[in-house]
Amino acid sequence: MSDFRKSRIGLADAARLLHVPISELKASLLEEKPLRGVEAPKVFYKTGHKGWVFLAGDVMDVAERLQRSSRASSAGSK
């Protein structure tokens, strides 16, 4: 798994790992606002006009925080 964490992934794959629409991830990054209450993954580098590349490990860490945040809010509403 450590090899995948070092992999570079694009915007669509990052959004897929985070279980959010691409547009929501893009808006969070462009507006420099949290993604569903969690800091969005850092862009590793930009390619061309609109291409963003992330490290898979960074995206996985954010996905884990999103999952924990979602569980906590679900438990609090019961």
On whether the CB atoms of residues 66 and 72 are closer than 8 A, the answer is: no
Query: For 25, how many CA atoms within 13 A lie in the half-sphere containing its CB?
Result: 24
pTM given for the model: 0.86
Element (H, E) at 47: strand 45-47
- pLDDT beyond 90 at 8: yes
The pLDDT tens digits of the residues spanning 40-55 come to: 999 999 998 778 999 9
72 burial via Cβ count (<10 Å: 0-12, 13-18, 19+): exposed
Residue 69 confidence (pLDDT): 87
In this prediction, residue 77 carries a pLDDT of: 60
What does the block give as tokens for 25? Answer: 């991830």
pLDDT digits (tens, 9 = 90+) for 16-31: 999 999 999 999 999 9
Domain that holds residue 72: 2-76
Residue 75 CA to residue 59 CA, distance in Å, equals 24
The total number of structural domains in the chain stands at: 1
